[in-house]
Amino acid sequence: MRPLEGITVVSLEHAIAAPFATRQLADLGARVIKVERPGAGDFARAYDERVNGLASHFVWTNRSKESIALDLKSEDGVEALRRLIAKADVLVQNLAPGATARMGFDGPTLAERYPQLIVCEISGFGQDGPDRDRKAYDLLIQAESGFLSVTGTPGDVVKAGCSIADIAAGMYAYTNILAGLIERGRTGKGRHIDVSMLEAMAEWMSFPLYYAFDGAPQPPRSGAAHATIYPYGPFDTADGVVLFGIQNEREWASFCEKVLRLPTVATNPLFATNSARSANRAALAETIAAVLGKQPTAEVIEALDSAKIANAPVNDMAGLWSHRQLKARRRWREVGTQAGAVPALLPPGQADARMDPVPAPGEHTAKILAEIGMSVEADA
């Protein structure tokens, strides 16, 4: 039995944040009923066609769910949703702020009608405050939260290569829902959870935030290198690039002795502490380049391993698909889709997660409506 078997989640969701949160609940065994618009369904289904004609974001965040198509502008659609919520343990929504309230599903009303219900609302800026009604997309929140100001090169800001703000919000929704279920098990009462993408990213930005404490300069944009620890980042070899990081003075001494083969560099006052190395990184970069630039990548990695210095190749997606560790730990499974089976990774920390198919739009409408005493014709 999986941890959340017997828990029913109804989700008014689209895009990434809420679907990612609810997919993780489904991974743990919850029944997740995804409410979609009749016809095209969740607009994320049309983001691209990279997975046998299906959208990459959608395949990632929507396995193991049931899809019901409801017209929430119709009386029958709203009635169907009302009956679903009455039987649910959790309601998740990331519609525009105020959208659920206009249908009579605002937090206070739900708390009064269904005191055991856990309600999680995900939005860009939260359910109140001066920015409540502003549109918020992942990239915009990356900018608003200061993430772009510390990411990129000195000349160019660069966004994250994945939907990091949506992922952050989805993770906080997921963990808060789990906490809410534990709390309800003790008190019998549900709770209202208000997750803001901005607040999720602000939490994740706390290192640069504190680094700039009391008006101090913030970390500079430093490409793939670490902004405040050096050497830590990519370095050229004779035939490629290797990425490694020095975390403490013991590692620094070992690096100088076994990789650079210049032990006196370790005690040079310009490089003797991390703060000194970071302040004098241009000079140190020349010293490192003079050594590593003459050696093939394989030899550099061997020397780094011998010195017990953490290192990594700069993998592309093909490298991640074929990563030996994921294969050795048997992390790959297959999930069904309307376009055939596709590979999928087990969630971190789980060996027996639910890995059911990604639903087609409205695939389970008739079945779910029958459970609540309605029919497809009634909602049409």
What's the confidence (pLDDT) of residue 314? 87
**Structure tokens that stand for 216 in this block:** 């101090």
Do 114 and 246 lie in one domain? The reply is no
- pLDDT digits 0-9 by tens, 21-66: 999 999 999 999 999 999 999 999 999 999 999 999 999 999 999 9
Q: Give whole-number Cα distances, 194 to 15, 23, 24, 155, 198, in Å.
A: 18, 19, 18, 37, 12
Determine, yes or no, domain membership for 3. Answer: no
- pLDDT digits 0-9 by tens, 266-296: 999 999 999 999 999 999 999 999 999 999 9
Q: What's the whole-number average pLDDT of the chain? A: 96
Q: Could you please report the per-residue DSSP string of 364-380?
A: THHHHHHHTT--HHHH-
Do 47 and 110 lie in one domain? The reply is yes
Do 290 and 347 lie in one domain? The reply is no
Segments forming the whole domain that contains residue 241: 232-313
- pLDDT digits 0-9 by tens, 69-119: 999 999 999 999 999 999 999 999 999 888 898 898 988 899 999 999 999
What's the confidence (pLDDT) of residue 106? 86
Determine, yes or no, domain membership for 161. Answer: yes
Confidence class for position 378, pLDDT limits 50, 70, 90: low
Give the separation between CA 331 and CA 349, rounded to whole angstroms: 10
* Residues with a known catalytic role: 166
Confidence class for position 361, pLDDT limits 50, 70, 90: very high
Q: Exposure string (b/e) for 138-153, b if CB count within 10 Å is 16 or more?
A: bebbbebbbbbbbbee
Residue 50 belongs to domain with CATH number: 3.40.50.10540
Determine, yes or no, domain membership for 101. Answer: yes
Residue 255 belongs to domain with CATH number: 3.30.1540.10
Do 37 and 184 lie in one domain? The reply is yes
pLDDT at 201 over 50: yes
Examine the fold and report which residue of 288, 313, 338 is the final residue of a domain before the chain moves on: 313
What's the confidence (pLDDT) of residue 376? 86
Confidence class for position 380, pLDDT limits 50, 70, 90: very low
Do 127 and 261 lie in one domain? The reply is no
Determine, yes or no, domain membership for 226. Answer: no
Give the separation between CA 147 and CA 205, rounded to whole angstroms: 7
Do 49 and 145 lie in one domain? The reply is yes
- pLDDT digits 0-9 by tens, 106-154: 888 999 999 999 999 999 999 999 999 999 999 999 999 999 999 999 9
Determine, yes or no, domain membership for 349. Answer: yes
- pLDDT digits 0-9 by tens, 311-334: 998 899 999 999 999 999 999 999
Do 264 and 297 lie in one domain? The reply is yes
pLDDT at 159 over 90: yes
Determine, yes or no, domain membership for 225. Answer: no
Handedness of CA 319, 324, 328, 329 (dihedral sign): negative
Domain count, the chain: 2
Give the separation between CA 199 and CA 208, rounded to whole angstroms: 15
Do 126 and 238 lie in one domain? The reply is no
What's the confidence (pLDDT) of residue 96? 86
Do 155 and 186 lie in one domain? The reply is yes
**Structure tokens that stand for 65 in this block:** 């769910």
What's the confidence (pLDDT) of residue 86? 97
Work out the average pLDDT over 224-250: 95
Query: Which amino acid would we find at residue 256?
Result: C
Do 137 and 186 lie in one domain? The reply is yes
Do 14 and 122 lie in one domain? The reply is yes
- Name the percent of the chain lying above pLDDT 70: 99
Determine, yes or no, domain membership for 213. Answer: no
Do 199 and 238 lie in one domain? The reply is no
Determine, yes or no, domain membership for 212. Answer: no
Work out the average pLDDT over 178-195: 97
